[in-house]
Amino acid sequence: MSRLFGTDGVRGLANRSLTAPLALRLGAAAARVLTTTGQGSQRRPTAVIGRDPRVSGEMLAGALSAGMASQGVDVLNVGVLPTPAVAFLTDDYGADMGVMISASHNPMPDNGIKFFAAGGRKLDDSVEDEIESAMLELEERGPTGAAIGRVIEESGDALERYLFHLQDAAPRPLDGIRVVVDCANGAASLAAPMAYEAAGAEVVAIHNSPNSFNINDNCGSTHIEVIQQAVLDHHADLGLSHDGDADRCLAVDSEGRVIDGDQIMAILAVDMKESGELRKNTLVATVMSNLGLTLAMKEHDITLRRTKVGDRYVLADLMANDFSLGGEQSGHIVIPSHATTGDGTLTGLRLMARMADTGQSLRELADVMTVLPQTLVNVPVEEKERIHTSEVVRQAIEEAEAELGDTGRVLLRPSGTEQVYRVMVEAPTSAEAKRVAGRLAAIVVAEG
């Protein structure tokens, strides 16, 4: 049987692959694994559940809540909030587990379910495997009478708690900074504008009117061209673009130039080194981060560590080694002293705080890093393992690396979700990156 959990929870087309009956069993199984229910504990276990505004979230929240309550878990429904807010509240309320219902940047018909352990921590693969096993072993009979869990509607302080928590991220007022924020008609629609305004920024919010159907619809971080134009139209100092569940943030400077996750990490790493917050002078990124980030960090005597693709691997390295900053090119930025997961609003606050502290524009700050041209080619193959073990491909990679030297980078890796091999090349010019990538892709085609 294929694994139910993917790289970021369980995701699929709502009411097709991701159904209410599946969510009910998933909620019950997660309750068994993540709480002390059924193990003689005298304390009633609790769970926090939140969602983004897409229409299927209500259905899935009901099913998940029923599953958890059937195992004796009291469920606190906090409604529409960003993923990082649900992670924070899981810890802040002292809950045994948390659940976020969201498909992030995916189209509205999709949805997803991700779990947090006590403390708001993402789950290890081994714990997810336990939940899948528990789904197959659920007993038909659960607790009865007063032992059944309750489903409680949150009284109204969840958003307030989250916003208060974010205040420490920008201790200096952001007065004088005008920001356009694209909320993607998603979970950030209330929280992000309120957080930025509370910090003192002048906020122009767009796509902040979710109607259950318009999340990520030609807006948000997957449609960065929208915020580029909005910044110019509103004569703003910068733009911030979130995804549907607000765990990522991309930026645009006052001239409409995109500032991606690598550049944001570079800005924050230098900032945190100067303030003494960058533990062990180390930044954690993935293998997909631009070589320009490596060169920029080297210039500032900051070590760059690389992990596999996926913010969960970045987070795991941060936690295991007590580092203080990491993220992905996509805009997932993790600052463990403030959050247990990526938090787009926190990222926006820290970015504007750096502008306020230095008096520099975002464009000036982003110049700390030069982005090298990058070409990515997805090559369909029949057997990914054949490419991985091919001596011809290995020699071609070595020749390309020798040709580029310290001025470029080559990365070939199999896709985790598709029957393709990804060929990525960075070089001093776009023409050179395309030429080398084309040559390598042709060899992969011949070998695949």
Active site members? 104
**Does 96 show up as a binding residue in the annotation?**
no
Cα 319–chain centre separation: 16
Six token digits for residue 213? 């159907």
The DSSP H or E segment spanning 189 is: helix 188-198
Q: How many CB atoms lie within 10 A of CB 77?
A: 19
| Residue entry with tokens 């809950």 | 95
Q: Are 321 and 223 in contact (CB under 8 A)?
A: no
- Which residues, including other chains, have CB under 8 Å from residue 45's CB and lie 6 or more apart? 31, 35, 36, 37, 72, 73, 74, 96, 97, 149
The C-alpha atoms of residue 397 and residue 410 are separated, in whole angstroms, by: 7
**Does 247 show up as a binding residue in the annotation?**
yes
**Does 243 show up as a binding residue in the annotation?**
yes
Cα 172–chain centre separation: 26
Q: Are 248 and 242 in contact (CB under 8 A)?
A: yes
The C-alpha atoms of residue 283 and residue 294 are separated, in whole angstroms, by: 10
Amino acid 226 reads: V
**Does 102 show up as a binding residue in the annotation?**
no
| Closest C-alpha among 22, 14, 24 to residue 52 | 14
| Residue entry with tokens 């533990």 | 279
| Sign, Cα dihedral of 264, 266, 271, 277 | positive
Binding residues for Mg(2+): 104, 243, 245, 247
